[in-house]
Amino acid sequence: MKKYFLVAFASIIASGFASSQKVNADSVWVMNNYYKIERSIPMRDGVKLFTSMYVPKDTMHKHPMLMNRTPYSCQPYGEAKFRKVWYSPYMAYFKEGYIMITQDVRGKYMSEGTFVDVRPFIKDKKTNSDIDEASDTYDAIDWLVKNAPHNNGNVGMFGISYPGFYATMGALCGHPALKAVSPQAPVTDWFMGDDTHHKGVLFIMDEFDFDLPFGMPRHGPTTTDADVQEVAGDDNYQLYLNMGTYAEISKKYGGDSIGFWKELVNHPDYDNWWKDRDPRRVLENVKPAIMVTGGLFDAEDLYGTFGTYKAIKKLSPATNCKIVEGPWFHGGWARSGGDRLGNVYFGSRTSDYYMKNIEVPFFNYYLKGEGDVSKQADATVFVTGEDNWHTFAQWPPQTVVPTDLYFHANGKLSFEKPSTAEIADTYISDPMKPVPYTETVHRDRTREYMCDDQRFASRRTDVLTYETDTLRNDMTLTGPVVADLLTSITTTDADFVVKVIDVFPDNFKYPDSLKMEYPMGGYQMLVRAEIMRGRYRNSFEKPEAFVPGKISEVKYELPDVAHTFLKGHRIMIQIQSTWFPLADRNPQQFINPYTSLTKDFVKSTISIYHNAVNASKVVLPVLK
């Protein structure tokens, strides 16, 4: 969701995309072979949307169009000013002769109108005032087909994160010229798992850092960002402790004037306001070919990637819909080599492979009629751990077997159900001393935390740690993990974080040639983690308080994984109730977290049961 992650044709020099000599040659080539035009395209209600087009000078051939609709600006503005596309992998499309189009969405930068976050789709449009992102896409495409120089009448769409949401919405527009769409890490459900919330828990750091500059009101079309002073501080853990609760932050930093931020207090639960903003509910009768792309270590929109694919397969089964998942952070396929993240090495430059063998051929086939992608698998997924690409006829694969992994006494994990009498492990959750989401001291939320070493958390008394014996055979997981906890708490509410971790052998070491200095022996690699607000254990629409001391089931799904635990490794599960400042703190009372104050925070003793009657477990999607 963060702007610097998302801008199409990002002017970022990614080491490995090109040497300096290549960059210089490509920049000259683009200037010699392309020109730029800017137009304000009228929508059906009279609002005009600013659109930038990079057009091949070649007039001997017709050219396909590839469009990105964005709330993050078409900049640089001015027909003489070029985006530095030669620094990005999108240079491939320029070499292929595409007309490359970027459009400021309604209400952002140089476009007219009013901006609405994740604007709901209107299924039955009756008048020209019934507009949404699908209708704006239709009107833009209709104009482009009629007016873009030397176009071949075929249009594709793509976009990462928020632009991925606009690509999803564009796929519903119904224009016959739109032949192929790739929603990439698409914003999808901001309550259940993308960006703003996870399972009802506010992701305070991302939401505040994003909405502070993004949500400020504007006063007409502009080429510049809002002038916002960033909150000072180098240690985000201490910074957010000092900032306090949502209500206290709002009072200190003018939350009433910050776009989407001020809506949260009015919609603490999963009501129709949230549901109307979930594209998964309306993805019926999708006409273009779809390729959903995402990263297995995406800290922002991992949930939406899998969710968009699954929704299209369910609601629009006739649509040609594929999914690609690589070992990438948010947008990593477009701005990194994809061979490593943080301390973990994946064995090859997966981003190069993706662009050359998957994305560019996808658009070339549907927009230029070149090549053949008819044999592309339904799911192309990089399985980490073993570090290989796999193809599957569907996702999750048909051969997945849900396999119970139970918690036992003394921190043990076993595939055998406990047979003992009442046994539980307990910890004290203190919102004033929350468990950090990562070990390092830093200001901005890291992307590397998605595969970080969890040894720092294993050593805390408010984190329960369980692990298997050393694995005798490889075990591959492909699909969602289910956490099924039997718990009692001493208060009326609490959060639950479950982590799935790959414990490396004590003697593990990467080759010296990789120059990766971090001590990898015994590394506890985070494979997947998710948080759940306990009050929603029975319904996200109708929260329920816990009865202190009463055993309750808290069962929820973690986002999909694609990982092999190699022979000689161990599987670890960690359980905790704070994950800070990634996730906002629960007051641990059944009160509205959006109106609560720091003085409302209370400690809670959390018990996790593992016995014959109440057998807490995780359910693993084991590939057979």
* pLDDT attached to residue 569: 98
* CA–CA separation, 585 and 421 (whole Å): 34
Contact partners, residue 459, CB within 8 Å, separation at least 6: none
What tens digit of pLDDT does each residue of 64-105 get? 999 999 999 999 999 999 999 999 999 999 999 999 999 999
Instruction: Give the E-state strand segments of 335-459 in sequence order.
Output: 340-341, 344-345, 379-383, 388-392, 400-408, 412-414, 424-429
* CA–CA separation, 295 and 128 (whole Å): 38
Assess whether 337 and 385 both reside in one domain. yes
Q: Classify burial at 150, counting beta carbons within 10 Å of its beta carbon; exposed 0-12, middle 13-18, buried 19 or more.
A: middle
* pLDDT attached to residue 550: 98
Q: 321-326 and 379-383: which strand pairing?
A: parallel
What tens digit of pLDDT does each residue of 438-448 get? 999 999 999 99
Beta bridge partners of 562: 478
* pLDDT attached to residue 259: 79
CATH code assigned at 81: 3.40.50.1820
Assess whether 539 and 464 both reside in one domain. yes
Cis, bond preceding 431 (omega within 30 deg of 0): no
What tens digit of pLDDT does each residue of 325-377 get? 999 999 999 999 999 999 999 999 999 999 999 999 999 999 999 999 988 99
- pLDDT of 14 above 60: no
Assess whether 415 and 357 both reside in one domain. no
Asked if residues 174 and 290 have their Cβ atoms less than 8 Å apart, the reply is: no
* CA–CA separation, 532 and 555 (whole Å): 9
Assess whether 338 and 384 both reside in one domain. yes
Assess whether 410 and 346 both reside in one domain. no
Domain count along the chain: 2
What tens digit of pLDDT does each residue of 461-519 get? 999 999 999 999 999 999 999 999 999 999 999 999 999 999 999 999 999 999 999 99
Q: 178-184 and 289-295: which strand pairing?
A: parallel
Assigned domain for 196 exists = no
Assess whether 484 and 539 both reside in one domain. yes
Asked if residues 120 and 132 have their Cβ atoms less than 8 Å apart, the reply is: yes
Instruction: Characterize 572-596 residue by residue with b for buried, 16 or more Cβ atoms within 10 angstroms of its Cβ, and e for exposed.
Output: bbbbbbbbbbbbbbbbbbeeebbeb
Containing domain of residue 88, as a range? 3-118+133-188+278-392
Assess whether 495 and 594 both reside in one domain. yes
- pLDDT of 524 above 70: yes
Assess whether 467 and 567 both reside in one domain. yes
Contact partners, residue 25, CB within 8 Å, separation at least 6: none
* CA–CA separation, 141 and 133 (whole Å): 12
Assess whether 298 and 426 both reside in one domain. no
Assigned domain for 243 exists = no
Assigned domain for 18 exists = yes
Assess whether 371 and 441 both reside in one domain. no
The backbone region for 168, taken as left when phi is positive above 0, alpha when psi lies in -120 to 50, beta otherwise, is: alpha
Which of 365, 392, 419 is where one domain is finished?
392
* CA–CA separation, 293 and 325 (whole Å): 6
Asked if residues 622 and 413 have their Cβ atoms less than 8 Å apart, the reply is: no
CATH code assigned at 609: 2.60.120.260
4-18, 22-36, 302-316, 518-532: least confident range:
4-18
Assigned domain for 227 exists = no
Helical (H) or strand (E) element with 514:
none
- Average pLDDT of the residues of the chain: 94
Assess whether 154 and 284 both reside in one domain. yes
Query: What is the average pLDDT across 211-217?
Result: 86
* pLDDT attached to residue 254: 78
The helix-helix angle for 302-315 and 162-170 (nearest 10°) equals 10
Helical (H) or strand (E) element with 307:
helix 302-315
* pLDDT attached to residue 124: 94
* pLDDT attached to residue 4: 37
Percent of the chain with pLDDT over 70: 96
Helical (H) or strand (E) element with 311:
helix 302-315
Assigned domain for 100 exists = yes
* pLDDT attached to residue 6: 37
228-237, 262-271, 292-301: least confident range:
228-237
* pLDDT attached to residue 375: 86
Percent of the chain with pLDDT over 90: 90
Contact partners, residue 458, CB within 8 Å, separation at least 6: 465, 524, 572, 574
* CA–CA separation, 434 and 19 (whole Å): 45
Assigned domain for 304 exists = yes
- pLDDT of 15 above 50: no
44-48, 259-263, 620-624: least confident range:
259-263
Provide the whole-model pTM: 0.95
Assess whether 19 and 49 both reside in one domain. yes
Tokens of 146: 């009629």
Backbone phi, then psi, for 506, in 5-degree steps? Answer: -60, -25
Q: 10 Å Cβ neighbour count for 376?
A: 18
What tens digit of pLDDT does each residue of 108-140 get? 999 999 999 999 999 999 999 999 999 999 999
Helical (H) or strand (E) element with 284:
none
- pLDDT of 59 above 60: yes
Contact partners, residue 584, CB within 8 Å, separation at least 6: 201, 202, 203, 204, 245, 246, 593
* CA–CA separation, 440 and 503 (whole Å): 20
* pLDDT attached to residue 20: 55
Assigned domain for 308 exists = yes
Instruction: Give the E-state strand segments of 299-436 in sequence order.
Output: 321-326, 340-341, 344-345, 379-383, 388-392, 400-408, 412-414, 424-429
Q: 475-489 and 617-623: which strand pairing?
A: antiparallel
Which of 392, 409, 429 is where one domain is finished?
392
Q: What single DSSP character describes residue 610?
A: B
202-206, 225-229, 249-253: least confident range:
225-229
Which of 333, 361, 392 is where one domain is finished?
392
The pLDDT-based confidence of 7 (bands split at 50, 70, 90) is very low
- pLDDT of 18 above 80: no
* pLDDT attached to residue 230: 80
Assigned domain for 273 exists = no
